[in-house]
Amino acid sequence: MIELPIKPFTRPAAGSVSLPGSKSITNRALILAALSDGPVTLRNALFSDDTLIMLTALKKLGFNISADEKSNEINIVGLNGDIPCGEARLHVGNAGTAARFLTAFICLKDKGNYYLDSDDAMKIRPMEDLLNALVSQGVEVDYEGKNGHFPFKLKTHRLIGGRIEIDASASSQFLSALLMVAPFAFKDTTIETKATRVRKPYVYLTERMMNHWGQSISSDNHYQVTRIKAQVNYHYDKGHYDIEPDTTAASYFIVLPLLTDGEVKVKGFNLDNNLKDSLISQVFLQGDTRFIDVMENANLISYASKGDIIFHPGSSNKGIEQDFNEFSDTFLTLAAISPLLEGKTRITGIGHTRHQETDRISAMAAELRKLGQKVIDDDDSLEIHPNRSSLIEKAQNGVTIETYNDHRIAMSFAILGCANLLGSGKPWLRIKDPYCCAKTFPRFFDVLERLRIDSLQ
């Protein structure tokens, strides 16, 4: 298996990065475009493992799609809730958005027969609550293995609507999947979630994107009860839909100046200077922009805007305590750099990440201990007590990070490896299976290396 040495920055970071489009937005936009009543062009679309899985599935379902990876554009002709192929075999890999969104999407077909399978990792990830909700809507499920998990066959009869009860605590994608298809039910739908804690930003993202396509939903502040009108078409007037850069991917470059000094400009996030006093998470669609607010409020970073946002080190280097429940994909970024902070870092609200691409709490704890750090982990949290002298001792012999086929672990620890820990510019950290980052950011290591070289100029 490939092990990639990470070359430290020997000069302060200086340069700019262009990020791929958001996976969360791209896969939602593909579903919404397919449901719309005409052609739509998605611009700055992400081309990665997860989005290619969605594209492939939609093509197998009979949709007219053309994609240009060089221009990052996807053209798709929506069919107003119709699905051309009533039979198909779909493979969702280990893509949570594709798995949940496609499962609900194909249930709009009357007299449909579908077979869905996945990678082994997806077979242990949560699906049961979504499937049970769909069964309550008249869908028939035949499991080939363990109940509530891939693979399974679906016999679909459209959706009834009315009251749907679902527990979305395991994944907010369950609720998002139902919301996007609910307008095509026979009657108005009320979705009640039993979850005491839904990860609101991801559902809010779905709601705002539905708004862009002309849908309006009614919900309480925490999506405990949500109402959707039936038979209201999805329509997008502009003809093209612009996808934001991936804010989770941005998190790696946001903290890079903290480890290497200097500054990094992140292209594509244009911030009106008049909004600087507002929370940046109120400006953009993606909930993971909360990471920027948290890091700035802790004085770990600062930023300025000249069109694009330029990130600098903050005035503090102290560890923090923070609930990451609503923007949990970014907790790995903070955890990975915590050995270089002063004092403990405690990250809470992340219990659900034990059921994502891997058990992310256990994986991060194991790799941080490998770096000589004291780590306390429990069901819902991770606490890191940094030990810089132990880290340097481990670094002198070199450390290889196991990625567990998890793109976020690979990218987070790569940023840690950019610190010139030994003072010589000698690589001290290696990433095993680095190209698992193709799931969301295929060119991550190229972008990182380009920035390092630019910083030498």
**Concatenated DSSP letters of 160-213:** --EEEEE--SS-HHHHHHHHHHGGGSSS-EEEEE--S---HHHHHHHHHHHHHT
Is 329 marked active-site? yes
Same-domain status, 295 and 342: yes
pLDDT of residue 305: 78
List, in order, residues 6 or more apart from 417 with CB less than 8 Å away: 6, 8, 427, 428, 429, 430, 431
Q: Which residues are within 8 A (CB) of 394 and not within 5 positions of it... i.e. 6 or more apart?
A: 370, 371, 372
Q: Examine the fold and report which residue of 200, 230, 260 is the final residue of a domain before the chain moves on.
A: 230
What residues make up the domain containing 301? 3-20+244-455
Residues 202 and 155 in one domain: yes
Q: What is the pTM of this model?
A: 0.90
- For residue 332, tell me if it sits in a domain: yes
Do 139 and 155 contact (CB within 8 A), yes or no? yes
Note whether residue 322 is domain-resident: yes
Domain of residue 135, CATH code: 3.65.10.10
Question: Is the CA virtual torsion 5, 9, 10, 15 positive or negative?
Answer: positive
Helix, strand or coil, per DSSP, at residue 343: coil
pLDDT reported for residue 31:
98
Q: Are residues 11 and 30 in the same domain?
A: no
Say if residue 196 is in the same domain as residue 335: no
pLDDT at 217: 92
Domain assignment of residue 172, yes or no:
yes
Residue 238 domain-assigned?
A: no
Q: Give dist(CA 205, CA 198) in Å, integer.
A: 13
Q: Is residue 255 part of a domain?
A: yes
The pLDDT of residue 242:
93
* Residues 334 and 420 both lie in one domain: yes
Query: Quick check: is 239 in a domain?
Result: no
Tell me: do 267 and 208 sit in the same domain: no
Same domain, 165 and 121: yes
- At 275 the pLDDT is 46
Residue 266, judged by CB atoms within 10 A of its CB (0-12, 13-18, 19+), counts as buried
Residue 321 and residue 373 share a domain: yes
CA dihedral 256, 259, 262, 268 (to 10 degrees): 10
- The domain tally of the chain equals 2
- Name the amino acid, one letter, at 251: S
> If residue 394 lies in a helix (H) or strand (E), which one and from where to where?
helix 388-397
Q: Are residues 258 and 213 in the same domain?
A: no
The reply to whether 357 and 387 lie within a common domain is yes
The predicted structure's pLDDT at residue 283: 64
Same domain, 254 and 196: no
Flag residues of the chain having pLDDT under 70. Answer: 195-196, 270-283
Could you say which of 230, 263, 285 is where a domain stops? 230
Segment 440-443 long-range contacts (CB within 8 Å, at least 24 positions apart): 440/20, 440/23, 440/46, 440/48, 440/49, 440/50, 440/246, 440/248, 440/249, 440/407, 441/19, 441/20, 441/48, 441/246, 441/249, 441/407, 441/411, 442/20, 442/47, 442/48, 442/49, 443/20
122 and 267 together in one domain = no
Euclidean distance between CA atoms 254 and 256, whole angstroms: 6
Which of 199, 230, 261 is the C-terminal boundary of a domain?
230
Q: Could you tell me if residue 235 is inside a domain?
A: no
**237 in a domain, yes or no?**
no
Q: What pLDDT score was predicted for residue 63?
A: 98
Q: Which of 129, 329, 377, 433 is catalytic?
A: 329
Cβ neighbors of 229 (< 8 A, separation 6 or more) are 183, 188, 216
What's the pLDDT score for residue 222?
Answer: 82
In Å, how far are 186, 192, 203, 209, 356 from 232, measured between CA atoms? Answer: 11, 21, 20, 15, 34
